[in-house]
Amino acid sequence: MGRVSVRFVPRNELGVLDHEVTLSDGTVTYNPLRVLPHPEGAEVVFTLRGVDDDEFERDAAMVAEDLARLRAVFEGPLPTGAPPRTASAIAEPGVRLATPADAGSLGRMLHEFNTEFESATPTADEAARRFGDLLARDDVLAVVASPGSSDAPTDVGFALLTLRPTPYSDHPLAQLEELYVRPNLRGRGVGAAIITRSLFEVVARRCEEMLINVDADDLGARRFYERHGFTDRDPDSGSGMRCYLRQL
């Protein structure tokens, strides 16, 4: 685990409350991620879960790349003719609870998601039909992100969740089945808005916990979920958790 110091700094031109991060080598950068409370202020903690030296160094390098990219965004000059940084078409995405009327949009986005990653996929129409059936159930829900302005008129992301009973609680467990943001809008807070609304909805349904399957090599997704409070460690034993799959 690596630790760096952080302090709050005034809102920048993008309207984002920054955290000024000082790395262990004295480098100062800016990182608009969540921070943890600390007796002397606050700190941001990057958890590196590599099981060997190569994997640890790869995780650390990706964190460093993220920080460098964010510093370039906040400190770099605006392109000639660019609008002021206070104007962001997706700065405040609206995230709503989906209804069967959203089935067409959800079907298209699911098809785009699987096509992007070269995975087997139903057609957009097939997926839309299934979404229409699923969203009529009490144990399935989806949330949909809409653009913050008319510059992006179509839905820009979604999450699909299922609920299932468990003998360990009188309330259900939630499973995040899918989370997708259109490629041109990633890194702009849409995914964070979607996961935040998803958590709100499952808490409102008194779910015991929320489960997510993430590819071990998808370090970006792992860091995203860890930033939002998820872990791949058993909360009781601390041992690593794995997902096993058998196709039937």
For 100-146, the pLDDT digits (tens) are 999 999 999 999 999 998 999 999 999 999 999 999 999 999 999 98
Q: 187: pLDDT confidence band, cut at 50, 70 and 90?
A: confident
Our CA angle for 74, 91, 142, nearest 5°, is: 130
Tens of pLDDT, residues 194-228: 999 999 999 999 998 999 999 988 888 998 998 88
Which single residue is written with the structure tokens 């994997």? 55
pTM value is 0.64
Higher-confidence residue of 241 and 63: namely: 241
| Alpha carbon distance 71, 29 (integer Å) | 6
Distances (CA, A) of 36 to 39, 183, 189, 242: 10, 29, 19, 27
Give the model's pLDDT for residue 94. Answer: 84
What domains sit in the chain, N to C, each tagged with a CATH number? 5-75 (3.30.530.20), 94-212 (3.40.630.30)
- List the structure tokens of 166: 């468990």
Count of Cβ atoms closer than 10 Å to residue 51 Cβ: 9
Minimum mean pLDDT range among 17-26, 30-39, 59-68: 30-39
